[in-house]
Structure 1
Amino acid sequence: MRVIGVGDNVVDKYLYKKTMYPGGNALNFAVYAKQLGIDSAYMGVFGNDRAAEHIVETLKKLEVDISHCRHYEGENGFAAVDLVDGDRVFIGGNEGGIQKDNPLVLTQEDLEYIKTFEIAHSSIYSDMDSELHKLKELGLMVSYDFSSDYNDALLKKNCQYIDVSLLSCGQLDEEEVENLLKQVYSYGSKLVIGTMGSKGALVYDGSAYYRQKPHFIQPVDTLGAGDSFFTKFILHYLAGKKDNPEGDHALLLISSLEEGAKFAAKTCLVDGAFGYGIPF
């Protein structure tokens, strides 16, 4: 299996300890897949500052393929993280940095390359919603993280091109989450996942809801928990579909959720999304 993250990368700058860590939804997906023994790649936009250099160096160390990335002169994307009442919270950033003015526009060469993968994962922070139809037309699975920055119009516009939608729903009660997932399914996504923080996750496949409680541990850092949960979930799901196409779909979803929760718990024992912090 080969997978690719297409879109956002940042450094997460922890202001209270002056340390920055590589991150971003699309980039994290590629890194977590690599950690899980899957051949992975990342395609995105880098600046030419120390943050960009550090991310590139880290991805090369991890042997994630970045051969199709763009490099521009300017500031790389970053998100600012601070400690508020003991919790790490995002308090701003530069909205993708150089990616804002130089969004990823997929060329025919890019598409031929992406076609060699089984799943392409992107996000709402990737500034490439206009490119989603190109990914869908390739015939591979497309997954997308809306985080908590979605509205009905955006979901309706994008979900026709997305096979698996991921939404952060911690602010909603369970009935609201169920209604939201059903709505997103009606817009075109075949699997819809709502993550709810300490309340766990909910998946809807058009016929039933599947619930997963988190694996409770004493976390070092919860950053990346949602991305790692999704990565393990979808990789386990895809492997199960490949190994046993006629197998029980419900059982596969249940086991995939459990595997995702296990991996997310491990991620919470590491600083940053996956470590590799340096001072700034």
Structure 2
Amino acid sequence: MKVLGIGDNVVDKYIHIKTMYPGGNALNFSAFAKKRGVEAAFLGTFGSDKEAKYVESVLNELQIDISRCRYYSGENGCARVTLEEGERIFLGSNEGGVTRDNLMKLTDEDKSYISKFSIIHTGLYSHTAHLLSDIKELGVPLSFDFSDDFDNKQIESYIPYTDFAFFSCSHISDADTHKFLHTHFKNKGQILIATRGSERAIAYDGTEFCYQDPKYVIAKDTMGAGDSFITAFLLNYLKSKDISLSMGEAASFAANSCLVEGSFGFGMAYE
């Protein structure tokens, strides 16, 4: 199995401790997959600042393939963060930096490279929506994270291209989440999953709903919990084709990720 995250890489700067950590939905997917022993690659855009060089060095240390990444002069993606009783609170960002300012275009070489992976993961903050149709044509299963910042227009535009779609739905009720998933299901074989914070996660495959209660821990840092859930679910589902089993594995992995500072560690002090 080989997996690929396409899109965002950022540094999450924890202002209360002056420490920054690597992150970003697409990058986290690749890092968590590597942590679970799977060959992983990341395709994204790096800036020219010290933050970019720091993230690149972490990916090299993890032996994640970044051979197809782009490099531009300017700010790497960066977010400002603090913690309140283990819950990460975003305070602002540069909205992707060079990733936003230099939208990726796929070359024939990129497409040949991408076609060799078992699954591709990207998301709403990855600035990759314009690539979804091209990626879908390659025949590789596509996962998309809509996070909690989605709107109906985005869902209707992007979800037809996805095989797996994830939503953060802690802001809506259990009953409304059922309705939401049923309404937005589009294609046979598609799986939609709503994570709901401290409430049960709900998956829908067009026929049945499946449920998973969270595994409770005293969280050190919830940053990356959703990405770790997504990663563990996808890796398990690709092997088992069992939604219930995969959701259980995902909940356990997500709980353990809440015991780590940053999305997956590798903190570095900054001035």
TM-score by length of 2: 0.97
What is the CA–CA distance in structure 2 between the aligned matches of 1:221 and 1:87, rounded to whole Å? 6
Partner of 1:260: 250
Partner of 1:31: 31
Range that drifts further, 11-20 or 182-191: 182-191
Tell whether 2:262 aligns with 1:279: no
What is the CA–CA distance in structure 1 between the aligned matches of 2:177 and 2:91, rounded to whole Å? 25
Q: Cα offset for 1:186?
A: 2.9
Contact 1:164/1:189, CA 8 A, preserved across alignment: no
Q: Cα offset for 1:98?
A: 1.0
Partner of 1:131: 131
Alignment map for 1:137-148 (pairs within 5 Å): 137-148=137-148
Contact 1:194/1:202, CA 8 A, preserved across alignment: yes
Number of paired residues?
Answer: 270
2:34 is aligned with what amino acid? Answer: K
1:83 is aligned with what amino acid? Answer: L
User: Secondary structure in 2 aligned to 1:200?
Assistant: strand
Q: Cα offset for 1:198?
A: 0.7
What is the CA–CA distance in structure 1 between the aligned matches of 2:190 and 2:14, rounded to whole Å? 36
Q: Cα offset for 1:200?
A: 3.0
Partner of 1:230: 230
Partner of 1:246: none
Q: Cα offset for 1:85?
A: 6.6
Contact 2:87/2:223, CA 8 A, preserved across alignment: no
Partner of 1:169: 169
1:231 is aligned with what amino acid? Answer: T
1:20 is aligned with what amino acid? Answer: M
CA change 1:59–1:86 in 2 (3 A) is: closer
Q: Cα offset for 1:88?
A: 2.3
Q: Cα offset for 1:139?
A: 0.5
What is the CA–CA distance in structure 2 between the aligned matches of 1:200 and 1:55, rounded to whole Å? 33
What is the CA–CA distance in structure 2 between the aligned matches of 1:253 and 1:169, rounded to whole Å? 19
Partner of 1:210: 210
What is the CA–CA distance in structure 2 between the aligned matches of 1:196 and 1:9, rounded to whole Å? 24
Range that drifts further, 80-89 or 11-20: 80-89
Tell whether 2:48 aligns with 1:48: yes
1:270 is aligned with what amino acid? Answer: V
What is the CA–CA distance in structure 2 between the aligned matches of 1:187 and 1:151, rounded to whole Å? 19
Contact 1:123/1:146, CA 8 A, preserved across alignment: yes
User: Secondary structure in 2 aligned to 1:112?
Assistant: helix
User: Secondary structure in 1 aligned to 2:95?
Assistant: coil
1:262 is aligned with what amino acid? Answer: S
Range that drifts further, 101-110 or 19-28: 101-110
Range that drifts further, 79-88 or 143-152: 79-88
User: Secondary structure in 2 aligned to 1:175?
Assistant: helix
User: Secondary structure in 1 aligned to 2:113?
Assistant: helix
Contact 2:86/2:220, CA 8 A, preserved across alignment: no
Q: Which runs of 4+ in 1 moved over 4 A?
A: none
Superposed CA offset, 1:69-96 (max 9, x none): 0011110001111234763201111000
TM-score by length of 1: 0.94
2:105 is aligned with what amino acid? Answer: V
Please list every run of 5 or more consecutive structure 2 residues that lacks an aligned counterpart in the other structure.
Answer: none
1:277 is aligned with what amino acid? Answer: G
Partner of 1:108: 108
Partner of 2:76: 76
User: Secondary structure in 1 aligned to 2:82?
Assistant: strand
Q: Cα offset for 1:184?
A: 1.9
What is the CA–CA distance in structure 2 between the aligned matches of 1:273 and 1:200, rounded to whole Å? 22
Superposed CA offset, 1:165-217 (max 9, x none): 00110100011111111122137771001010011311000011111011111
User: Secondary structure in 2 aligned to 1:92?
Assistant: strand
Percent sequence identity over aligned pairs:
44
